[in-house]
Structure 1
Amino acid sequence: MKYLKFSFFVCVIISSILTAQTKEITLEDIWKNGTFRQDYMDALHSMANGKQYSVLNFDRASRSTSIDVYDYETLEKVSTIVSSKDLEAMPYFIDYTFSEDEKKVILTANEEPIFRRSSKGHYYVYDVQTKGLELISEDQIQEPTFSPDGNKLAFAKDNNLYVKDLVSNTIVQITSDGEKNKVINGIADWVYEEEFSIVKAFDWNANNDKIAFIRFDETKVPEFSMDVYGETLYQTQHVFKYPKAGEPNSEVSLHVYDLKTNTLEALKTTTVYEDFYIPRIAWTNDPQVLSAQFINRHQNQLDLWMFDTDKDSAELILQDKDEAYVEVTDYLTFLEDNSFIWTSEKDGYNHIYHYNKNGKLITQVTKGNWEVTNYYGFDEENKTVYYQSVENGSINRDVFGIKLNGRNKTRLSKNDGTNKADFSADFSFFINTHTSATSPTTYSLHKAKSGDLIKKIKDNEAVAKTLDTYKFSKKEFGSISVNGNELNMWTIKPLDFDASKQYPLLMTQYSGPGSQEVANKWYSANDYWYQLLAQQGVIVVCIDGRGTGFKGAKFKKVTQNELGKYEVEDQIQAAKQLGELPYIDAERIGIWGWSYGGFMSSNCLFQGNDVFSMAIAVAPVTSWRFYDTIYTERYLTTPQENEGGYDNNSPLSHVDQLKGDFLLVHGSADDNVHVQNTMRLAEALIQADKDFEWAIYPDKNHSIYGGNTRLHLFRKMTKFIHESFNLDIED
């Protein structure tokens, strides 16, 4: 009887859920109405006392912003540092940065984007004690940065560096040779910004008296130009330096400005490099010693140098080599004794290492056939390293603590999915951000030593409740054995899936080196689109093939020198195997992707014309000859050295094989993957007498967004899928 009652109860619940899930997701829900928008803790900052944290809050009623401070233990708001309601000079601000002593804060008022990560704008310094507000510069500037004592700040303007004394309110220009498309001081050039993920290329020392910076001489870098159509009678041109594979890079050099003597000094290594990058610089705890990472153009040798700026000496203390390429570390951390934390893939997986100040290995802190995916910091008092890893499966992320000697490892996050941590300044607490495919973003406070939950902060339960009213299918995780490898996969099926029927299949992927699309986390906008397609009778699948990340260096670097070979083989073979399933219509299998994913979808349709009936390529690379030096040469070396690697796997080389339906999309102002890629592919298809559809979005960059753009794009792609799969759906 118990069993019967329980079964009946479960059936009632399932019936209620299915009844509730009646609404259909629309494109407007996803890209216009914000129906599935989540709430976040914006600009989270742990206060120096370790007992409180601040966040940026937006008051929709007054349309004002504020920096509010909360107590870790009670989670109660204890104060407001500043509110734009009280500032006549600025109606709102969009970001903030504290000085080290937290007596001053830089407020970001309005920013104008330059490229993906860079921007310029007007910034103010707010004095927390006097409540005074001061504009840093009447002109638009970049990357204002406090000195450690908070009495000065450095910033860039028009490719030169400046220092403002906040006590005397005077500004000193410390470089004068900066010029657009020629020389940049202290700000990364285009390719460094895009591929090394840096904008600010300068750093203060601990004594507030020296600024180190990288100088970029772009003189020999070829120019690229884009027409910007705008709304005026004549278009304008955006001209910038862009080094394509095999072409000259910026000549980089390292410099130090001494504020005491007002002098500039060039720093030189004792090794003479032919062609190199300087992707990272950072002062050590010794205010005279600067660290810099140098990497050769092939990016298979990374050198860590220490420069004693008083003695004018340089010492190479660490060298990391790899047959393919070396990943630049973002986690170099100097401890109190100037020993340092370093990450490397030298044992086949990304792990944490501890070296003494002379570069001698003390211990490998983490070990195992899994990857460290983030480093959060080192607690000096308890000698504990905090990090994030995939120890609980490559699609998951967990937070761990481990002693510096590699012992007493503790899993601090408690729920499967994607966890990341923001630790208090004294490492007493951490705020855990958790998502999974079944749980939207939640924030919770935990004890750092044990990971024990103290309190929940925010759970986005409203989003989950909203979804309960929609037709929403479970994202099923699994794997598929392809070409001798177990590949991670997720599947979304129609909510009313019937195994006796046949469904069209759409494969989505990115596939770029070190990337990951199959991850146990909450839904992105694209995921909601896949749900929309599923409710219209399409099965959607995502597979991370060879070359993707978080399964070790061997799996990731197998594509070296042949981008697009093994990745394409895996997607084609996977499609063949999925097409053999009784509920998949093998005559209606499509694939789509954006950027690298567009490169892939084009290749798959052309080379797998007996498998794929349709493909969509958005902002695709169509020949790696058109892409930048740092990214492309990392995986292919130069075109001069590896002609076949560039051409054999280019979609341009396979246009004659096109049989299915093909949609090609690009933004005309894409500074990253230039529209040249699509134009060259379109011309090749035309000359091969192949039918295809295409769309160019005027003045849109690589993300193709703004206003009604995304809605228009996804409506176009949805209609294309309907027509290609012969879906009987009313638009």
Structure 2
Amino acid sequence: MNFRFLGLAVFLATASPVLLPATAPAAVAQQKQNITLEDIWAKGTFQARSVPGFNWMRDGRYYSSLDNGDLVQHDVTTGQAVQTLVAAQALTVAGSSQPLEVEGYFFNSDEKKILFWTAEEPIYRRSSRATFFVYDRDSKKLTPLSAGGKQSYATFSPDGKRVAFVRDNNLFVTDLATMQEKAVTTDGVPNKLINGSADWVYEEEFEFAQAFFWSPDSRQLAFYTFDESQVPEYNMQAWGELYPKDYRYKYPKAGEKNSVVSISVHEVAAGRTTKMDVGPETNQYIPRIIWTETPNLLSIRRINRLQNKLEILHADAGTGKTQVVLTDTDKAYVEVNDDLRYLSDGKQFLFSSEKDGFRHLYLYDLKGKLVRQLTKGSWEITEINGFDEEKGLVYYTSTEASPLQRHLYRVDLKGKNKAMLGYTGVKMGVTSGANTLMKLGVAGTDIINMSPDTRYYLNYHSQNGEPTTVSVRNGKDGKVVKVLEDNAKLRQTLSQYNLGKLEFISFKTTEGVTLNGSMLKPADFDPSKKYPVLMYVYGGPGSQTVKDDAGAGIAFTNYMWHHMLAQQGYIVVSVDNRGTGARGAEFKKSTYANLGKLETIDQGESAKYLGTLPYVDKARIGIWGWSFGGYMTALALTKNADLFKMAISVAPVTNWRYYDSVYTERFLKTPQENPGGYDDNSPVQFAQQMKGKYLLVHGTGDDNVHFQNSIAWVDALVKADKSYQSLYYPNRNHGIYGGNTRLHLYRQMTDFVLKNL
């Protein structure tokens, strides 16, 4: 379950100003405006600007981006356009008078050819199909990649001579010299066998859709095959026709059969395919494969069904023989990420692990022998951003300044000379609250896109109350080279609105647990008055809603909705309970095998704490959440029924037996091994305890958290003779969007809050 209200404000869309009459007196013209739902969800005037279509070029001195349909090259040091690489009009297909509506592009290795795609159709969260075209910059020729139908994940070989892609569950390679297409596999069958593309649960929970990878020398293609023939099907009905249509797809619920996954390597020139030996056990996961820097050597990560043992295998791509070189275990679970990096000398690799209680970087030799631990401390590595092998420097993002923040650091391969980039005079290991850090000049969240040579990086910086600033920075010291977008217009627009003030808080529960939170107060807050409180919760394993970023840890649109509620006299609070991220393995994994228990206790403790504040009306505390947060909300109104006056659950899990195998078993084991972990904190079991006003929202086309969850929950509420309101959205998926859907949804939610809190 990876549904998040992300705080990255690259895609901000909030309110738009209400124009005052030209004759309005000056005093009226300066009056702050109130946010409306139409501002947030319909007009989009506050949509932040970014740098669309940004790609680093081969020479790290330049980057490219899309500008009104033109593909333009820019100088990193100035941000100025150097030349138009491809004019929009050049991307006109024969027989058409209009250029392609380009949705994305990739260069080949020498940047002489470009893959453009258009007419993209989403499949699930990360998967899609589109029509791809190859553009030759020398001949100025635009050629369709294939005439056989839309393609997925078209990818140049490293030498730029071929393109691999997936269509209809099979893998293909096109030779760009002849534009001849060759099938690598031919046995793909919908809902049975998939080649080169992930099945539903791998895409959702291991977070990848493309499941093939070129070798560095372009001679081989490593690819996944998913045999999902034994995976049970889930059936959704698509409404709208006279007779609703069935949509069936393979979805392994907790404890049910998964796909049997195999890894193969195809030698392109010889046309020979060899299967890799991933062991005799088929009830396991292969969450990652990557090529090493050693010719013919493929790295495969294997993890057991309970996900508490991860192994790195090295495979001989020619013979398929494998050897386990490293094993990482945990008493709860081992998480998978993209931090495994092989050095080009073919002798060492970098890997991150939580084995000392916090996720840190380790250096190993190629046989899996530990060379040294590179980072250490009561903080977390969140991502490796770049690696300068010539200088032996690793660039990474971490929470060292604060669990609420993310910043870029650098350390050498000896674990020495660590530095925070972009900030000067800041002592390492600062663990004060975010409010204190902001006073020290350390603020916000930095999202990093580093050039391949690490000379420069693109920094998306945002912080509490401030929209994103996009800048190019020097990889040496983090100094700003050029601000590409400061969103000055959005800042000006925001200044015209009656916005409250968000503060970060922390408090101790009666169990002695310190929890971090955020509190948004009305702009005209009066400490002598009593205010109702609406709590926002997500609370799932490793997540965070309390972060120092533009949306205070949630989507900027929800952040602005909370501001709108603050204008109506509500205080909005979010608290990260036990099980959430950035505070180490012990805090995060304390909820293992009993999902929902400690989280519910902590949200209840939060409501009790808020009730002690002199300006809070403890009889008027409500709570809302989406996805895992919807689950938490349902538990709050049952197991903590006396603390909450009202609640809104959007797309909630109501019984973990209904959710997918990978996510659920990672935190609960299987239902066969741990039935109590599934039932003891299922809202369905506690319907008779529910009090307060309740709104339940779900999309009938939710392929992630099935509508089945709400059906079971409603059935339990009816049996318990409990009153509730429900709102369902035909054919909408887990995000519940499209057209005016979000505006409609938030209008209903707003009305419910105003009437019941």
Q: TM-score range by the shorter chain?
A: over 0.9
Matching of residue 599 in structure 1 with residue 631 in structure 2: yes
Alignment-derived partner of residue 679 in structure 2: 647
Worse overlay, 428-437 or 710-719: 428-437
2:54 to 33, 40, 44: 44
> Aligned-pair distance for 1:614?
0.5
Correspondence 1:579-594 to 2 at 5 A: 579-594=611-626
Q: Is residue 329–residue 344 contact of structure 1 (8 Å, CA) maintained in 2?
A: no
Alignment-derived partner of residue 304 in structure 1: 312
Alignment-derived partner of residue 313 in structure 1: 321
Residues 285 and 189 (structure 1), Cα distance of their counterparts in 2 relative to 1, 3 Å cut:
same
Correspondence 1:74-223 to 2 at 5 A: 74-89=78-93, 90-138=99-147, 139-223=149-233
Q: Is residue 17–residue 468 contact of structure 1 (8 Å, CA) maintained in 2?
A: no
Alignment-derived partner of residue 8 in structure 1: none
Gaps of 5+ in 1: 1-15, 60-64, 726-731
**1:237-280: CA deviation from partner (whole Å, max 9, x where unpaired):** 110000000000000111111122212211114x4325211111
RMSD: 1.4
Q: Is residue 382–residue 397 contact of structure 2 (8 Å, CA) maintained in 1?
A: yes
Correspondence 1:343-362 to 2 at 5 A: 343-362=352-371
1:500 to 528, 539, 543: 528
Residues 277 and 17 (structure 1), Cα distance of their counterparts in 2 relative to 1, 3 Å cut:
farther
Q: Secondary structure at the match of 1:150?
A: coil
> Aligned-pair distance for 1:105?
1.5
Alignment-derived partner of residue 568 in structure 1: 600
Alignment-derived partner of residue 495 in structure 2: 468
* Aligned AA (1:24): N
**CA distance in 2 between partners of 1:494 and 1:516 (Å):** 23
Q: Is residue 274–residue 318 contact of structure 2 (8 Å, CA) maintained in 1?
A: no
**CA distance in 1 between partners of 2:51 and 2:140 (Å):** 25
* Aligned AA (1:485): V
**CA distance in 2 between partners of 1:720 and 1:498 (Å):** 25
**CA distance in 1 between partners of 2:174 and 2:335 (Å):** 36
Q: Is residue 626–residue 650 contact of structure 2 (8 Å, CA) maintained in 1?
A: yes
Worse overlay, 192-201 or 330-339: 330-339
Alignment-derived partner of residue 245 in structure 1: 254
Alignment-derived partner of residue 303 in structure 2: 295
Residues 553 and 43 (structure 1), Cα distance of their counterparts in 2 relative to 1, 3 Å cut:
farther
Q: Is residue 436–residue 520 contact of structure 1 (8 Å, CA) maintained in 2?
A: yes
> Aligned-pair distance for 1:233?
1.9
Alignment-derived partner of residue 420 in structure 1: 447
Between the two structures, name the one with larger relative contact order (CA 8 Å, sep ≥ 6).
Answer: 2
> Aligned-pair distance for 1:464?
1.1
Q: Secondary structure at the match of 2:636?
A: helix
Q: Secondary structure at the match of 2:499?
A: coil
> Aligned-pair distance for 1:86?
2.5
> Aligned-pair distance for 1:357?
1.3
Q: Is residue 21–residue 472 contact of structure 1 (8 Å, CA) maintained in 2?
A: no
**1:294-314: CA deviation from partner (whole Å, max 9, x where unpaired):** 000000000000111234421
Residues 18 and 470 (structure 1), Cα distance of their counterparts in 2 relative to 1, 3 Å cut:
farther
Aligned-pair identity in percent equals 46
Correspondence 1:538-549 to 2 at 5 A: 538-549=570-581
**CA distance in 1 between partners of 2:257 and 2:129 (Å):** 27
Q: Is residue 651–residue 681 contact of structure 1 (8 Å, CA) maintained in 2?
A: yes
**CA distance in 1 between partners of 2:127 and 2:372 (Å):** 37
> Aligned-pair distance for 1:434?
0.6
> Aligned-pair distance for 1:382?
1.5
Alignment-derived partner of residue 6 in structure 2: none
> Aligned-pair distance for 1:36?
2.0
Q: Is residue 30–residue 525 contact of structure 1 (8 Å, CA) maintained in 2?
A: yes
* Aligned AA (1:468): S
Worse overlay, 44-53 or 540-549: 44-53
* Aligned AA (1:330): D
Correspondence 1:509-548 to 2 at 5 A: 509-523=537-551, 524-548=556-580
Q: Is residue 413–residue 419 contact of structure 1 (8 Å, CA) maintained in 2?
A: no
Q: Is residue 153–residue 165 contact of structure 2 (8 Å, CA) maintained in 1?
A: yes
2:285 to 261, 277, 294: 277
Alignment-derived partner of residue 483 in structure 2: 456
**CA distance in 2 between partners of 1:229 and 1:721 (Å):** 30
2:343 to 327, 335, 342: 335
**CA distance in 2 between partners of 1:252 and 1:18 (Å):** 66
Q: Is residue 397–residue 418 contact of structure 1 (8 Å, CA) maintained in 2?
A: yes
> Aligned-pair distance for 1:431?
2.2
Q: Is residue 140–residue 157 contact of structure 1 (8 Å, CA) maintained in 2?
A: yes
1:386 to 367, 391, 395: 395
**TM-score, length-scaled by structure 2:** 0.91
Alignment-derived partner of residue 628 in structure 1: 660
> Aligned-pair distance for 1:19?
8.8
Q: Is residue 145–residue 179 contact of structure 2 (8 Å, CA) maintained in 1?
A: no
* Aligned AA (1:340): F
**CA distance in 2 between partners of 1:411 and 1:309 (Å):** 40
* Aligned AA (2:729): Y
**1:19-56: CA deviation from partner (whole Å, max 9, x where unpaired):** 94521000011011013210012332211111101123
Residues 380 and 603 (structure 1), Cα distance of their counterparts in 2 relative to 1, 3 Å cut:
same
**1:394-442: CA deviation from partner (whole Å, max 9, x where unpaired):** 0011111111111111110235110122222322222221100132111
**1:371-397: CA deviation from partner (whole Å, max 9, x where unpaired):** 011111110122111011111100011
Worse overlay, 412-421 or 107-116: 412-421
Q: Is residue 21–residue 468 contact of structure 1 (8 Å, CA) maintained in 2?
A: no
**1:43-98: CA deviation from partner (whole Å, max 9, x where unpaired):** 322111111011233x2xxxxx2322110112211122223333222432011112
**CA distance in 2 between partners of 1:113 and 1:693 (Å):** 32
**CA distance in 2 between partners of 1:85 and 1:484 (Å):** 65
**CA distance in 2 between partners of 1:156 and 1:242 (Å):** 21
**1:197-253: CA deviation from partner (whole Å, max 9, x where unpaired):** 0101111112222111111000100000100013x3221111000000000000011
Q: Is residue 401–residue 449 contact of structure 1 (8 Å, CA) maintained in 2?
A: no
**CA distance in 1 between partners of 2:133 and 2:282 (Å):** 42
> Aligned-pair distance for 1:285?
1.5
Alignment-derived partner of residue 682 in structure 1: 714
**CA distance in 1 between partners of 2:466 and 2:635 (Å):** 35
Q: Is residue 52–residue 71 contact of structure 1 (8 Å, CA) maintained in 2?
A: yes
Q: Secondary structure at the match of 1:625?
A: helix
2:473 to 434, 446, 455: 446
* Aligned AA (2:690): L
Gaps of 5+ in 2: 1-25, 94-98, 424-441
Matching of residue 227 in structure 1 with residue 237 in structure 2: yes
Alignment-derived partner of residue 408 in structure 1: 417
Q: Secondary structure at the match of 2:174?
A: strand
**1:299-357: CA deviation from partner (whole Å, max 9, x where unpaired):** 00000001112344211111100000001121211111121111111111111111111
**CA distance in 1 between partners of 2:315 and 2:143 (Å):** 36
1:323 to 322, 331, 335: 331
Residues 517 and 407 (structure 1), Cα distance of their counterparts in 2 relative to 1, 3 Å cut:
same
Q: Is residue 297–residue 314 contact of structure 2 (8 Å, CA) maintained in 1?
A: yes
* Aligned AA (1:115): Y
Q: Is residue 620–residue 677 contact of structure 1 (8 Å, CA) maintained in 2?
A: yes
